[in-house]
Amino acid sequence: MNFLDLAPLAVVLPIFGAGAAFLVRRRIKLQRLITIGILCVTLVLEAGMLAAVWGGESYAVHIGGWQSPWGISLMVDGFSAFMLLISTVVSLAVLFYATSQGLADGDEPGPVSVFHPAYLILLAGVSNAFLAADLFNLYVGFEILLTASYVLLTLGATAERIRAGTTYVVVSVVSSVIFLMGIAMTYAATGTVNMADLAVKLPQLDTGPQLILHVLLLIAFGIKAAVFPLSLWLPDSYPTAPAPVTAVFAGLLTKVGVYAIVRTETLLFPGGAVNAGLLVVAALTMVIGILGAIAQTDFKRMLSFTLTSHIGYLIFGVAVGGELAIAATIYYVGHHIIVQTSLFMVAGLIERRAGSANVTRLGSLAKLSPALSLLFFIPAINLGGIPPFSGFLGKFGLLHAAAQDADALTWVVIGAGLLTSLLTLLAIIRVWARMFWRRAADAEIPNPDLVDEAAKVADQTAAGGAQAPHLGLKLARELESAALPWGMRYATGSLVVAGIALTVFAGPIFEFCQRVAAQLIAHEPYINAILNY
């Protein structure tokens, strides 16, 4: 079986699944089975696609038999296949997390019946964006995922979510209008929106029109990727959504914008005309984002700021350019998707276990929830860049690539990257010390339930004495199991393990990323596959 010929199914399957899930909206169990089944089949398909292009191949699928540049084409290469697989792995883990949460809480027919169709439509849009070989189809992918995200963000229709959703909608519409203007102007200047055709025709334009088109597309993608100063909407929008929605948004939506930036910068505008500006944007995104994170007391808002901050590393890699920098950027994208998603899932567990994710109200979680402590600790130190985890490896690759031929501005951005890494670690340590390590009674606004539970565990430990010191731990595990459904814990744990796998298999994965980077920089494999040269 040639999995590459089946690439359109990565988009079609979730769309048909969404329709089927909506038809059985009054039967929640069947909805779950349809959604999980569709994602499992899609995961197998995308794993086969990635295996088929692992050696550096590029493959184009021409929809309806119409050849490029006239018809719609989908491109499967190492970059798109890698992003597809990572996004589906994360989406499946979040779906299991949401399913377990729904089973534990009891399902409310209204929001739950809409969740599964909207979730599948979101993933269809993400997949379409990763596979798109022309700017307009990329725009369609963005609009599909954004339309679904409007629904998911406002599930429950609370005042806070509606307010945040309104901001999100306004910002998204503005970015879409800018993108559409860029597409229209590109077509007017070149007569095509096919990216392979554009790679041939854009260099024939004068420098002025090229720069205008370049900046327009960068602004549109920059808003979607949440780079500074176009990122101020994100910390107010994401934390208000339900935990599973926040987790999948954090993992995927900004990375679609990053994907578009990497693809267009390497294929359409390879000359580096705006690299100095991108370096400045990368430094500001990193530093201002992490300073915002340190100032937060709500864990979910803190994670939202670290999310935007670490997008700066990805923009830094694009600005530096070269095979090593692009390879490190691709590796870091995979790391960031997995780690940020797992941490937002942990935030949902903390909120469920302790009734709040605000650090001023929490303490003693290391004693009261040992499994939750481990689920937080591993991705947290990974995000902080502690060796030998993937966060350290990705950052080291980026900074090493930048330092090889650095000018003064690049050294400044390298310093900003090191500072951001240290401040990220500081933010993580503060959360650990306040939420997990200190006594619940020492919190600024103590949670009476946590204080009582900590006292019970301490009493049980003291009662066991030297003969049975494990009795306190046993009670803590019982309290944790009662508060946290096993499915939510195992779904989060699966992503934590995936983050560890990025470290364990860093060698072959980074070699693959280098092949992908060489593909992206060479241009010819992409152009030849699409235009049949």
Q: pLDDT band at 48, cuts 50/70/90?
A: very high
Global pTM reads: 0.94
Per DSSP, the residues of 135-198 read HHHHHHHHHHHHHHHHHHHTTT--HHHHHHHHHHHHHHHHHHHHHHHHHHHHHHHHS--BHHHH
Q: pLDDT band at 448, cuts 50/70/90?
A: confident
List pLDDT tens digits, range 214-233: 999 999 999 988 898 888 88
Helix (H/G/I), strand (E/B), else coil: 232? coil
CA distance 28 to 116: 9
Q: Is the pLDDT of residue 347 over 50?
A: yes
List pLDDT tens digits, range 132-148: 999 999 999 999 998 89
329: which 2 tokens?
A: 């950027």
Q: pLDDT band at 533, cuts 50/70/90?
A: low
Helix (H/G/I), strand (E/B), else coil: 69? coil
List pLDDT tens digits, range 239-296: 777 888 888 888 888 899 999 999 999 999 987 778 899 999 999 999 999 999 999 9
List pLDDT tens digits, range 363-415: 888 888 888 999 999 999 999 989 889 999 999 999 999 998 888 999 999 99
SS3 content of the chain, % helix, strand, coil (to 5): 80, 0, 20
Report the pLDDT value the prediction gives residue 126, as an integer from 0 to 100. 95
Report the pLDDT value the prediction gives residue 453, as an integer from 0 to 100. 77
Q: What is the mean pLDDT of residues 11-32?
A: 90
CA distance 46 to 43: 5
CA distance 135 to 524: 19
Interior/surface letters 497-522, b for 16+ CB within 10 angstroms, e for the rest: ebbbebbeebeebbebbbbbbebbee
H-type helices in 297-389, by residue range? 299-320, 323-354, 365-368, 370-383
Report the pLDDT value the prediction gives residue 112, as an integer from 0 to 100. 57
Segment of 110-119, 317-326, 459-468 carrying the highest mean pLDDT: 317-326
CA distance 141 to 63: 16
